[in-house]
Amino acid sequence: MKILAVSDQIIERLFTPAVREAYPDVRLLVSCGDLPYEYLEFLVSLYNVPLMYVPGNHDPAYDLHDLRSQAQGCDNLDGRVGLVRGLRVAGLGGSVLYQPGSPNQYTQQEFYLRVFHLLPRLTWMRLLGRPLDLFVAHSPPQGIHDDDDPPHHGLAALNLLIRLARPRYFLHGHTMFYRQNLQNHISEYYGAKVINIYPFRVLKIEETEK
């Protein structure tokens, strides 16, 4: 399956109908956060395929009754587990806390609680021989593609999630690829391919369920 994944920065050549010619046969769209929702809505309307997203630290707090806090026609994967186009997927948005009171920012301890909420189901899936295919996050795990400045520290709870849930792919944004700590946008960690999406990537992932 071909996946177009985006994060953090609008790419003008993607914000045009010509994107379908440049990147044809896309069957799934993924956003790792911090993008205007009209950008996501444009992509999902153009490709007419599912789009899954998690919020970034600059995105609004989700409110069921406020359409401005949602990307219309897209699926918010934050804190959820599901099956999309034959892929077992889950996601968690947000970053480490650096501005108290801001939405989608968490202390390291708070993010452990978010991970603990998902882990029972994810580890059970793994024990049943149906491990997670794709995990979508905004922030990177701690020590993998993260940075020295406090807003771009990785989240240690995501390392635990990878070790216990063993997803095949872990996608994130939040940190810029051209920074010194990002010699390669793909890293291996406990069998997972950890991929920095910033600002976009086209991926091919084998489906595991029909």
Q: Which amino acid is at 81?
A: V
CB 87 within 8 A of CB 1: yes
Mention every residue, 6+ apart, whose C-beta is less than 8 A from residue 118: 79, 81, 90, 92, 161, 165
CATH number for the domain including 116? 3.60.21.10
Share of residues in the chain with pLDDT > 70 (%) = 96
Residue 181 scores a pLDDT above 80: no
pLDDT of residue 64: 80
Write out pLDDT tens, residues 3-49.
999 999 999 999 999 999 999 999 999 999 999 999 999 999 999 99
Residue whose tokens read 């295919």: 133
Residue-wise pLDDT for 127-136, tens only, equals: 999 999 999 9
Q: Are 115 and 161 in contact (CB under 8 A)?
A: yes
Record the pTM: 0.94
**Domain assignment of residue 210, yes or no:** no
Q: Tell me the percentage of the chain whose pLDDT exceeds 90.
A: 89
Asked whether residue 23 is assigned to any structural domain, the reply reads: yes
Residue 163: count of CB within 10 angstroms of its CB: 13
| Helix (H) / strand (E) containing 189 | strand 186-189
111 falls within a domain:
yes
Domains contained in the chain, number: 1
Residue 115 per-residue DSSP state: H
Residue type at position 190: Y
Enclosing domain of residue 53: 2-204
Residue 209 lies in a domain: no
d(CA 5, CA 171): 9
